[in-house]
């Protein structure tokens, strides 16, 4: 039971990451291969505040999200000049940089040793230690993320984002300040990724750089593409399927040395099948061009 | 032409790419509420001129004034807001959005487009959205696309896409409309319809500058013609004057050989 709830918590955290990346990639069409970098920053900011200064996780979470949002502005800068593949490479680079800093700035992050003993959330002096209480907490944040992003994408503001995705030049010719919208989108995406990172850190109580590798960014990207770019329901499906399906392998009684590589193969296979059968993703309407 | 009637004035405008000069020292003025054509053989610099006027390219030299504003250092979205609407030679719609949404994206929002308005789903946003939807429907009606409002722009026919692009440009409430080949490629039955729409726009006080190759349409529709060749203005005048202009004939047909007719 405990294990089952744990999987749900992790699924929830991935849902936040997938929804926020969908805003950037699926709705606005900005390639982003460094989404995990934002959650890395959120996680480390929040954990270090809690460990070094005893800052409550609630505040840490907010600070972590804001720090990630600031990094979002930094990433948005190249996105104003680059498109498509070039932007993908630039965000990929950001992922490498953030990962390397987390790994090598031993004085701050303890490097590969990671940060153990991160305190959990507490509510009115009550430590939230049971997994189910975390599930409630994560569900709350998933709902918040969904609520905010749905409002953003279903408004005139969201229409402009889709316009930028469809044809940036035309959007400019329609008097839209494209750069401003791109910055906002990166900031909002980064903010929620920061929240996800912080939730993860305080739930697992241990983080190290290996949780925020490039593979992690790519996994989130796969979830978005799998569920369908530009579909919020798709993000829920994408995150759920790609977290839960590999877990099912455990029940086949395979040793983990086999299960781990097999998991990667299944990801790959799923994606190949999907791209052949349904390139817009399970629930997506929009096709990448 | 008096100063008051001039909506756009271009003076000594030049642009060069790696030694090629698609526009070189061009000056002209556009008179208010008139249909002006910009013509010239292939590579004369017509589209480059459009891109300079709308800020997609930055001139190396010279000035562009729209009304009282000097616009040649502004970014494209600011120029659009100041009142230049445009279409593109190869049609740039938002293909995976409906015709209605395409027009809505051209309309001006005061507050409803902001991030916070979206987040609070503010009343101002909803009111503005309703008003703009009415305006968009009106514009679609004007170009005869009412029935296609929910159709994806990418699924429309070529002619319908051209009409939609014009409706979208009109949503900006532009003082000046730049149309890059509005007639080219339309099926013949649609040409009178397009001409009617453009004349209607002129009558409602809009200024139109368009690029076109088809001489018959051109001479029929344009009230004033500016001719470019190799980036330089070689003539301007009424269609009659242009038809008889020696420099224009030479540019289009080549120099007459001595002794031949």
- Asked whether the beta carbons of A27 and A165 are under 8 A apart, the reply is yes
pLDDT value of residue B216:
84
- Residue A245 within any structural domain of the chain: no
Query: pLDDT band at B198, cuts 50/70/90?
Result: very high
pLDDT value of residue A80:
78
| Nearest C-alpha neighbor of A232 from the set A157, A143, A168 | A143
Mean pLDDT, range A193-221, rounded to an integer: 91
Q: Which of A118-127, A133-142, B33-42, B158-167 has the lowest mean pLDDT?
A: A118-127
Do B2 and B79 share a structural domain?
Answer: yes
Which chain B residues are within 8 Å of A176, Cβ to Cβ? 77, 105
Mean pLDDT, rounded, of chain A: 88
The domain total for chain A is: 1
Mean pLDDT, range A8-16, rounded to an integer: 94
pLDDT value of residue A286:
67
- Residue B70 within any structural domain of the chain: yes
- Residue A244 within any structural domain of the chain: no
Q: What span, in angstroms and rounded, lies between the C-alpha atoms of A6 and A205?
A: 13
| Nearest C-alpha neighbor of B208 from the set B218, B197, B216, B198 | B198
**Exposure of B247 in the CB half-sphere (CA atoms within 13 A):** 14
Percent of chain A with pLDDT over 90: 46
pLDDT at B256 over 70: no
Do B185 and B59 share a structural domain?
Answer: yes
Q: What span, in angstroms and rounded, lies between the C-alpha atoms of A13 and A193?
A: 9
- Residue A272 within any structural domain of the chain: no
Q: Chain B residue closest to A146 (CA)? A: B119
- Residue B182 within any structural domain of the chain: yes
- Asked whether the beta carbons of B245 and B237 are under 8 A apart, the reply is yes
Residue A44 Cα, gap to closest chain B Cα (Å)? 28
- Residue B91 within any structural domain of the chain: no
The CA-based dihedral angle spanning residues A121, A124, A127, A131, taken in that order and rounded to the nearest 10 degrees: -70
Q: Which of A243-247, B10-14, B196-200 has the lowest mean pLDDT?
A: A243-247
Query: pLDDT band at A171, cuts 50/70/90?
Result: very high
Do B197 and B78 share a structural domain?
Answer: yes
Q: Which of A231-235, B4-8, B21-25 has the lowest mean pLDDT?
A: B4-8
pLDDT value of residue B246:
86
Mean pLDDT, range B219-240, rounded to an integer: 91
Q: Is A174 on the interface with B (CB under 8 A)?
A: yes
Do B250 and B179 share a structural domain?
Answer: yes
pLDDT at B2 over 60: no
- Note down the domain range covering A203: 2-211
Q: What is the pLDDT of residues A24-44, one digit of tens each?
A: 999 998 888 889 999 999 999
Do B166 and B111 share a structural domain?
Answer: yes
Do B256 and B178 share a structural domain?
Answer: yes
Do B69 and B31 share a structural domain?
Answer: yes
Question: Between A263 and B11, where is the model more confident?
Answer: B11
pLDDT value of residue B261:
42
Mean pLDDT, rounded, of chain B: 88
- Asked whether the beta carbons of B154 and B90 are under 8 A apart, the reply is no
Mean pLDDT, range A70-99, rounded to an integer: 85
Q: Backbone dihedral region of B107: left (phi > 0), alpha (psi from -120 to 50 degrees) or beta?
A: beta
pLDDT at B215 over 90: no
pLDDT value of residue B3:
52
Q: Is B104 on the interface with A (CB under 8 A)?
A: yes
The CA-based dihedral angle spanning residues A129, A132, A137, A143, taken in that order and rounded to the nearest 10 degrees: 170
Bridge partners, B178 (sequence order):
B86, B209
- Residue A118 within any structural domain of the chain: yes
**Best residue of B77, B114, B152 to probe chain A, by most A CBs closer than 10 Å:** B77
pLDDT at A14 over 50: yes
- Note down the domain range covering B143: 99-171
- Residue B246 within any structural domain of the chain: yes
- Residue A247 within any structural domain of the chain: no
The SS3 call for residue B7 is strand
Question: Measured between alpha carbons, how far is residue B134 from residues B104, B139, B146 in Å?
Answer: 10, 9, 12
Residue B76 Cα, gap to closest chain A Cα (Å)? 6
């Amino acid at each position: 039971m405990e294990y089952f709830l744990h999987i749900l918590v992790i699924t929830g955290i991935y849902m936040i990451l997938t929804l926020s990346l969908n805003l950037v990639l699926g709705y606005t069409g900005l390639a982003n291969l460094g989404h995990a970098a934002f959650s890395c920053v959120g996680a480390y900011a929040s954990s270090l505040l809690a460990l070094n200064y005893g800052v409550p996780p609630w505040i840490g979470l907010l600070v972590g999200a804001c720090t990630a949002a600031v990094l979002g502005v930094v990433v948005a800068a190249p996105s104003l000049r680059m498109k498509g593949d070039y932007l993908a490479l630039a965000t990929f680079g950001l992922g490498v940089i953030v990962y390397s800093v987390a790994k090598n700035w031993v004085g701050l992050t303890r490097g590969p040793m990671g940060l153990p003993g991160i305190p959990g959330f507490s509510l009115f002096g009550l430590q939230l230690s049971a997994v189910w209480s975390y599930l409630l907490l994560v569900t709350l944040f998933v709902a918040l993320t969904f609520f905010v992003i749905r409002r953003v994408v279903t408004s005139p503001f969201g229409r402009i984002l889709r316009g930028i995705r469809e044809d940036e030049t035309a959007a400019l010719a329609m008097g839209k300040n494209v750069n401003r919208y791109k910055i906002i989108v990166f900031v909002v995406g980064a903010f929620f990724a920061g929240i996800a990172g912080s939730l993860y850190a305080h739930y697992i109580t241990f983080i190290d750089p290996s949780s925020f590798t490039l593979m992690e960014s790519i996994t989130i990207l796969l979830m978005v593409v799998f569920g369908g770019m530009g579909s919020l329901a798709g993000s829920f499906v994408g995150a759920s399927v790609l977290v839960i399906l590999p877990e099912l392998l455990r029940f086949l009684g395979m040793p983990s040395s086999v299960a781990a590589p097999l998991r990667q193969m299944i990801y790959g296979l799923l994606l190949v099948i999907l791209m052949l059968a349904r390139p817009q993703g399970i629930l997506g309407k929009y096709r990448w061009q | 032409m008096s100063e008051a009637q001039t909506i756009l004035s271009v003076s000594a405008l030049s642009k060069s790419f790696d030694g090629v000069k698609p526009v070189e020292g061009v000056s002209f003025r556009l008179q208010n509420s008139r249909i002006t054509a910009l013509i010239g053989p292939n590579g004369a610099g017509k589209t480059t001129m459009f891109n300079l006027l709308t800020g997609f390219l930055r001139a190396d030299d010279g000035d562009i004034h729209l009304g009282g504003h000097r616009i040649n250092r502004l970014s494209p979205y600011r120029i659009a807001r100041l009142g230049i609407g445009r279409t593109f030679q190869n049609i740039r719609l938002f293909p995976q959005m409906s015709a209605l949404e395409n027009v809505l994206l051209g309309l001006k929002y005061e507050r409803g487009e902001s991030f916070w308005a979206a987040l609070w789903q503010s009343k101002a946003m909803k009111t503005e959205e309703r008003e703009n939807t009415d305006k968009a429907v009106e514009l679609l009606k004007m170009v005869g696309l009412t029935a296609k409002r929910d159709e994806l722009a990418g699924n429309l026919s070529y002619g319908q896409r051209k009409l939609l692009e014009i409706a979208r440009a009109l949503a900006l409430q532009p003082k000046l409309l730049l149309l890059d080949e509005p007639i080219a490629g339309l099926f013949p039955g649609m040409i009178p319809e397009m001409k009617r729409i453009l004349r209607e726009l002129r009558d409602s006080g809009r200024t139109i500058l368009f690029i076109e190759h088809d001489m018959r349409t051109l001479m029929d529709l344009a009230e004033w013609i500016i001719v470019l060749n190799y980036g330089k203005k070689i003539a301007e005048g009424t269609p009659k004057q242009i038809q008889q202009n020696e420099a224009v004939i030479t540019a289009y047909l080549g120099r007459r050989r001595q002794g031949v007719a």
